[in-house]
């Protein structure tokens, strides 16, 4: 999520209440929409870090290596189109609008983490529908 915050300049899931329903959505694969203009290699690395299976996520040494490669290519102007981005300041949140992260503990959730499909990422779901679906999954 830190990579997404850096690329977007926003707090992830800022338009959602930080509650049980959001936690369930994230466990079921919901991720924030990647902002347009995010460099392709950065986007790909970020998505690897978001994998629902922790064993498939890169460790910090791999992240650092890939970030160094991205930076190196940027400074050498290699594949510049992969690194250019449009800056859209209208969506940025000012520092007065942000807040510190909070820790939530939900006990032992018996929901298996998964990666959402592209279709699931695009379909808006209401809070109540998600809440009811949670009980259907048990």
pLDDT for res 9: 93
Tens-digit pLDDT profile for residues 50-83: 998 999 999 999 999 999 998 888 777 765 555 5
Distance CA 56, CA 135 (A): 28
Q: Which CATH superfamily is domain 2-87+104-116 in?
A: Transferase(Phosphotransferase) domain 1 (1.10.510.10)
Domain ranges of the chain: 2-87+104-116
Tens-digit pLDDT profile for residues 111-131: 677 787 777 766 554 444 454
Cα angle value 114/115/117 (rounded, 5°): 130
Q: What is the DSSP letter of 16?
A: S
């Amino acid at each position: 999520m830190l990579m997404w915050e850096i690329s977007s300049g926003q707090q992830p899931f800022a338009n959602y209440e930080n509650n049980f329903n959001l936690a369930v959505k994230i466990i079921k694969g919901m991720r924030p929409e990647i902002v347009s203009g995010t460099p392709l290699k950065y986007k790909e690395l970020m998505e690897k870090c978001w994998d629902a299976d922790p064993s498939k996520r890169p460790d910090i040494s791999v992240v650092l290596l890939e970030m160094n490669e991205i930076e190196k290519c940027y400074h050498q102007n290699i594949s510049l189109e992969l690194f250019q981005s449009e800056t859209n300041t209208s969506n940025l949140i000012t520092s007065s609008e942000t807040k510190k992260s909070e820790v939530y503990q939900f006990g032992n959730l018996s929901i298996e983490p998964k990666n959402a499909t592209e279709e699931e990422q695009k379909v808006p779901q209401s809070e109540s529908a998600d809440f009811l679906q949670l009980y259907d999954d048990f």
